[in-house]
Chain A
Amino acid sequence: MNLGTRKLLDRSFTALGIGSIVIMGLALLVVLAPIVSKGVGALVFRETIEHRKLLSTEFHRGDGRELEKEIALSNGYRQKAFDMLAVFDQELEQMTPERQEQYRESYDQVKTALRGLLGPLPGDTDPELARNRYGQTRWDKAEEKLRELLYEQKWDYSNPDVIAKPYDVSRAPGFAGTSLVRLFPYVEQNLDKMLLPEWTFYWGFITDSSIDAHFFGGIWPEIQGTLFLAIGAMLFAFPLGVIAAVYFTEYARDGFLTSMLRSANSTLAGVPSIVFGLFGLAFFINTLHVSESKSVLAGSLTLAIMILPTIIRASEEAILSVPKTYKEASLGLGSTKWNTIMTVILPAALPGILTGGVISLGRAAGETAPIIFTAAVSVGTAIGLGDVLSSPTPALSWNIYNLASEHEAAAQIRHVQYGMVLALVTVVLLLNLSAVILRARISKKLKG
């Protein structure tokens, strides 16, 4: 090959390497961008008057007198829409049965859409589910619902080679010649006056409990559950891991037994997370009976086993990176081995050990599979600190799965799901960030 081609190959090899790193960076961006941008939408959004009503009745929050004024204002505009419905109801009664039948179905659809938009119509019985007691609480959702009111979605099956596509048909022409025609332009033009949207920062998303299976309210029970589980796991795993690391670095002699222990450690690190869940179920719950069924305790123990190898490895590295001269100086001054470990080596290695601990804490908080059978429930209120030994808890990681895959109206509460994912990712990445900062400080300190 001539030199030119060899150089070209060399350059393209470099480009390949850099390209794959760029792709990794892009992948990180692509994953994080929607999570961050839409997750923020759970906290910062245009709330409608329905949201203020909800906060006032369910959480007793907000200025009651101000709210009453707003309700009166919006009811003025709503009443006109309701009047149109009433007029059409009278018209319907005077029609022939065939014409009544012709309108019935689409009229019901209009009413359902209007209920979704503004809450119960006059004359409706009080709905049982909270999701039906209020109209749209978010302006972006209200605009979607408005589309449902104005247009009917139909599916285009005309081309059998292509997957059917949806298209919209305006509802108004279907009511041509009746009084209801006026309703559609009226609602479209006056929706903002009926709902009075305002930008808000809903901090309650973090501190409130959820209402009606996460239709409204916040995610505090999940956040608290995640904290309980992760901290509980650390309580068990951290001391054990550090002591084991001290043994491996300072006491263990090279030999069969030590190498066995080491390979047990790496085996444990490689066990799939779902198998930890199976083990937690079979051992902690079905054999040891640490609790009657799922509990925070069982979940924490399972998570502790999972993060133990990470803590041991990180602590070992931290202890090994303490300069030998520290130890020799201490031993030379006549202190015992134990004393040297406790007063010289561990304090010097502490930042490194903490780094490992913090990363493991993040891993315990984010992991789902081990807690599915041992600790997590989908719906529930925040549990007290006294209940951790016996009762299960909702947790961020599990509820993200549950709301996204198993919730009966998963598509309607996307903002809550995004908010939860953002909360979890933020917690985990912040923990990792603090680990990075800790590590940078250590390397500076050890360099002197």
Chain B
Amino acid sequence: MQNSNGMIDDGASKQGRSSVFIVSARKRKLQKISQKSGEATLFLIASFVAIIVLFIFWFVARDAVPFFDSLHTFREFFTSSEWYPADDPPRFGALAIIYGSLMITVGSALIAVPMGILASICLSDILPFNVRQYVKPVIEMLAAIPSVAYGFFALVVFAPLLQNSGGPILMWAWWLIATPFLLLMVIVASELLTTSIAKGAMKKTAHLGLILILGALALLLLYFVGNHLQGLMIMSGTNALNVSIILSFMALPTIVSVSEDALQAVGRDLREGSYALGATRAETIIKTVLPAASSGILAAVILGIMRALGETMVVWMASGNSSHIPDPWFNYLESVRTLTATIAGDMGEADQVTGSARFHVLFAMGLILLIVSFVSNLISERIVVRQRKVLSGQ
């Protein structure tokens, strides 16, 4: 405003202004100071968050460092799975616990990632707007239910169910999921295999024959795997499978909402270009939209996985809390123990104030969780920022 009139020299413009706004120079100065100091106060309060983050790192690390006082404990922590904190001398081998955390994280990701991506595609591209309005609250409710309520469900409802009739449940799930998939695969595979044959009666018979042969193979697969699943003995319902399923539903809302944002950010022009070239909706989504949104979806997956890794109550209540590596290593029907559950469960017995080794080892576990979550957060943030730049650049 003051420089809008370039003709008048500085002094004159100052004089002119003070005659327009009847405010003395001193008062203006005061106003400016108060404004600056107000802004500084706001900045201080806003930077409070950063201070807290620093403090969290500092205080968790401060209590974690005494545990790693020698190379021996460090090596034992990461390589041994002998977790006997109450023995004399105590043994703090956390390998099985770290593995347990990894196992349930991978397990829940296996369920939540495909489902979450499919659901977010459905929300952004398939469902009409008025249906979407009813789906969103469902997802929000899934996210809002407290973790201890999920844990209670896993322990009191789901675990006995899994223990008493886990075999048949798994068999039905296998049949329900695998039948349509295999049917589709048979049809598509038999068509792809016969494309090279020239047109005519020969192609038709080959096609039909292939469908029959592959169909029979698929049925056999369905039957044998289903039979095997039905015959499984589940010794305890509080196991890695139970926890993975429940955690996947807790991670789903995060994955769905973040990746839906990523899909929405892909413009209409890309979709319309693909449709104009004659692609179906599925082809458009898989070949055009998903690649364009891939980094955002990756960020969503990272955030969802972090939710599963950092979850405490469900795993504490329903994972069985046995510190050993399942045999074989992919056996999801055995009980496991995770970092979060160990921290929550052992703190009561660890000496809270004076700080024994048992107390510090729990902070070491907390530090691991903190670092993993920090790194994955940074990565996902970078990814989102870069995607925004790429999309706006186009």
Chain B: minimal CB distance from A35 (Å)? 7
A248 proximity list for chain B (CB < 8 A): 46
From the candidates B49, B145, B146, B155, name the one contacting A405 in the complex (CB within 8 A). B155
A27 in contact with B35 (CB, 8 Å): no
Instruction: Give the complex CA separation of A90 and B180 in angstroms.
Output: 72
What is the total number of residues of chain B having a CB less than 8 Å from a CB of chain A? 93
A19, A269, A274 interface centre (most CB from chain B within 10 Å): A274
Known A-B contacts A247-B45, A268-B49; the reply to A282 vs B142 at CB < 8 A is no
From the candidates B35, B116, B146, name the one contacting A424 in the complex (CB within 8 A). B146
B312 in contact with A404 (CB, 8 Å): no
| Residue in chain A with minimal CB distance to B253 | A24
A260 in contact with B281 (CB, 8 Å): no
Instruction: Give the complex CA separation of A246 and B39 in angstroms.
Output: 10
Within 8 A of A (CB), among B309-344: 309-313, 316-317, 340, 343-344
A273 in contact with B312 (CB, 8 Å): yes
Instruction: Give the complex CA separation of A35 and B352 in angstroms.
Output: 35
Instruction: Give the complex CA separation of A248 and B60 in angstroms.
Output: 28
What is the total number of residues of chain A having a CB less than 8 Å from a CB of chain B? 93
A-B contact pairs, 13 of them (CB 8 A): A8-B187, A12-B180, A20-B115, A24-B252, A28-B141, A251-B43, A270-B376, A279-B56, A281-B347, A338-B35, A362-B144, A368-B313, A436-B140
B352 in contact with A373 (CB, 8 Å): yes
Instruction: Give the complex CA separation of A278 and B359 in angstroms.
Output: 10
Known A-B contacts A278-B362, A282-B60; the reply to A270 vs B306 at CB < 8 A is yes
A10, A286, A362, A369 interface centre (most CB from chain B within 10 Å): A369
Is B174 in the interface zone, CB < 8 Å from A? Answer: no
A270 proximity list for chain B (CB < 8 A): 303, 306, 310, 373-374, 376-377
**What would 7 more interface pairs be, CB under 8 Å, given A28-B142, A247-B42, A268-B52?**
A8-B187, A10-B280, A18-B122, A240-B48, A251-B42, A286-B352, A401-B317
Within 8 A of A (CB), among B216-256: 233, 235, 249, 252, 256
A401 in contact with B149 (CB, 8 Å): no
From the candidates B35, B137, B281, B352, name the one contacting A14 in the complex (CB within 8 A). B281
Known A-B contacts A9-B280, A270-B373; the reply to A283 vs B310 at CB < 8 A is no
The 9 closest A-B pairs by CB, nearest first: A272-B310, A366-B146, A17-B122, A13-B282, A264-B50, A247-B46, A10-B280, A369-B312, A247-B42
Instruction: Give the complex CA separation of A367 and B146 in angstroms.
Output: 6
Known A-B contacts A14-B126, A282-B62; the reply to A244 vs B48 at CB < 8 A is yes
Is A25 in the interface zone, CB < 8 Å from B? Answer: yes
A279 in contact with B59 (CB, 8 Å): yes
Within 8 A of A (CB), among B254-268: 256
A16, A270, A373, A414 interface centre (most CB from chain B within 10 Å): A270
From the candidates B53, B155, B180, name the one contacting A268 in the complex (CB within 8 A). B53
Chain B: minimal CB distance from A124 (Å)? 33
Instruction: Give the complex CA separation of A35 and B249 in angstroms.
Output: 17
- Binary per-residue interface labels of chain A (387-411) against chain B in the complex, 1 for a CB within 8 Å, 0 otherwise: 0000000000110110011000000
B344 proximity list for chain A (CB < 8 A): 274, 277, 369, 372
Is A95 in the interface zone, CB < 8 Å from B? Answer: no
Is A7 in the interface zone, CB < 8 Å from B? Answer: yes
Stretch at the interface among A66-74, A105-113, A425-433: A425-433
Instruction: Give the complex CA separation of A391 and B352 in angstroms.
Output: 17
B119 in contact with A274 (CB, 8 Å): no
Is A169 in the interface zone, CB < 8 Å from B? Answer: no
B45, B235, B281, B317 interface centre (most CB from chain A within 10 Å): B45
B38 proximity list for chain A (CB < 8 A): 338
Is A354 in the interface zone, CB < 8 Å from B? Answer: no
Stretch at the interface among A44-52, A176-184, A197-205, A305-313: A305-313
Is A5 in the interface zone, CB < 8 Å from B? Answer: yes
Is A412 in the interface zone, CB < 8 Å from B? Answer: no
Known A-B contacts A24-B139, A278-B343, A281-B352; the reply to A243 vs B42 at CB < 8 A is yes
Instruction: Give the complex CA separation of A359 and B56 in angstroms.
Output: 24
Known A-B contacts A283-B59, A286-B353; the reply to A18 vs B126 at CB < 8 A is yes
Is B74 in the interface zone, CB < 8 Å from A? Answer: no
Instruction: Give the complex CA separation of A276 and B38 in angstroms.
Output: 31
B146 in contact with A436 (CB, 8 Å): no
B49 proximity list for chain A (CB < 8 A): 244, 261, 264-265, 268, 308-309, 312
